[in-house]
Structure 1
Amino acid sequence: MTLDEDDRQRRLPAGRKAQLAAYVAETGQVTVSALAERFGVSIDTIRRDLDQLSADGVLVRTYGGAVSQSTLSRVDRAVDVRLKMEEREKEKIAVLAASLVEDGSIVMINGGTTTLAVARNLRNHRDLTVVTNSLLVPPALSPSAVRDVYVFGGAVRTLTLATIGPVSFRASGGSELDISCDLALIGVGAVSTAAGYTTSNLAEAAMMREMISRAARVAILADSSKFGRRLFAQVSELGGADYLVTDSTPPPDLLEALAENEVELITPDTREGAPEADQDPQ
Structure 2
Amino acid sequence: MEGTTNTTKRRLPAGRKAELAAYVAQSGQVTVVDLASHFGVSIDTVRRDLDQLDREGIVVRTHGGAVSAMSVPGRDRGLDVRLQMQIAEKEKIAGIAADLIEDGSVVMLNAGTTTLAVARALRNHRNLTIATNNLRIPAEISPQVFRDLFIFGGAVRTITQATTGPVTLASSSHSPDVDIRCDYALIAVGAVDASGYSTSNLGDATMMSEMIQRADRTAILADSTKLDRRLFAQVASLEKADYLITDAAPAPDLAAALAEAGVTVLTP
TM-score tier after normalising by the smaller chain length: 0.7 to 0.9
Q: Where does residue 180 of structure 2 map in the other structure?
A: 179
Q: Percent identity?
A: 58
2:100 and 2:206 mapped to 1: Cα distance? Answer: 24
Q: Which runs of 5+ in 1 are unaligned?
A: 1-21, 29-49, 269-282
Cα shift at 1:68: 2.7
Q: 1:178 to 1:76 in 2, by over 3 A?
A: same
Q: Where does residue 68 of structure 2 map in the other structure?
A: 69
Amino acid of the residue matched to residue 218 of structure 1?
Answer: T
Tell me if the contact between 2:60 and 2:69 (Cα under 8 Å) persists in the aligned partners: no
2:159 and 2:184 mapped to 1: Cα distance? Answer: 26
Cα shift at 1:170: 1.3
Q: Where does residue 11 of structure 1 map in the other structure?
A: none
TM-score by length of 1: 0.72
Amino acid of the residue matched to residue 209 of structure 1?
Answer: S
Q: 1:54 to 1:253 in 2, by over 3 A?
A: same
Q: Where does residue 79 of structure 1 map in the other structure?
A: 79
Cα shift at 1:157: 0.5
Q: Where does residue 169 of structure 2 map in the other structure?
A: 169
Cα shift at 1:173: 4.7
Q: 1:23-60: CA deviations, max 9, x gaps?
A: 982496xxxxxxxxxxxxxxxxxxxxx7xx55857798
Structure 1 position 158 matched with structure 2 position 143 = no
Q: Secondary structure at the match of 1:229?
A: coil
Amino acid of the residue matched to residue 144 of structure 2?
Answer: S
1:187 and 1:115 mapped to 2: Cα distance? Answer: 6
Cα shift at 1:171: 1.2
Q: Which runs of 5+ in 2 are unaligned?
A: 1-21, 36-58
Q: 1:216-244: CA deviations, max 9, x gaps?
A: 00000000001111000110111010000
Q: Secondary structure at the match of 2:225?
A: helix
Amino acid of the residue matched to residue 69 of structure 1?
Answer: S
TM-score by length of 2: 0.75
Q: Secondary structure at the match of 1:156?
A: strand
Q: 1:86-112: CA deviations, max 9, x gaps?
A: 011101000001111110010000000
Q: Secondary structure at the match of 2:153?
A: coil
Tell me if the contact between 1:190 and 1:226 (Cα under 8 Å) persists in the aligned partners: yes
Q: 1:89 to 1:181 in 2, by over 3 A?
A: same
Q: Where does residue 144 of structure 1 map in the other structure?
A: 144
2:258 and 2:23 mapped to 1: Cα distance? Answer: 44
Tell me if the contact between 1:54 and 1:61 (Cα under 8 Å) persists in the aligned partners: no
Write out the 4+ residue segments of structure 1 that deviate beyond 6 Å after TM superposition.
57-62
Amino acid of the residue matched to residue 189 of structure 1?
Answer: G
Q: 1:199-223: CA deviations, max 9, x gaps?
A: 0001110110000000000000000
1:57 and 1:235 mapped to 2: Cα distance? Answer: 38
1:140 and 1:70 mapped to 2: Cα distance? Answer: 28
* RMSD of equivalent CA atoms: 2.6
1:57 and 1:208 mapped to 2: Cα distance? Answer: 39
2:68 and 2:220 mapped to 1: Cα distance? Answer: 27
Q: Where does residue 189 of structure 1 map in the other structure?
A: 190
Tell me if the contact between 1:54 and 1:60 (Cα under 8 Å) persists in the aligned partners: no
Q: Secondary structure at the match of 1:118?
A: helix
Q: 1:56 to 1:256 in 2, by over 3 A?
A: same
Tell me if the contact between 2:191 and 2:222 (Cα under 8 Å) persists in the aligned partners: yes
Q: Between Structure 1 and Structure 2, whose CA radius of gyration is higher?
A: 1
Q: Secondary structure at the match of 1:99?
A: helix
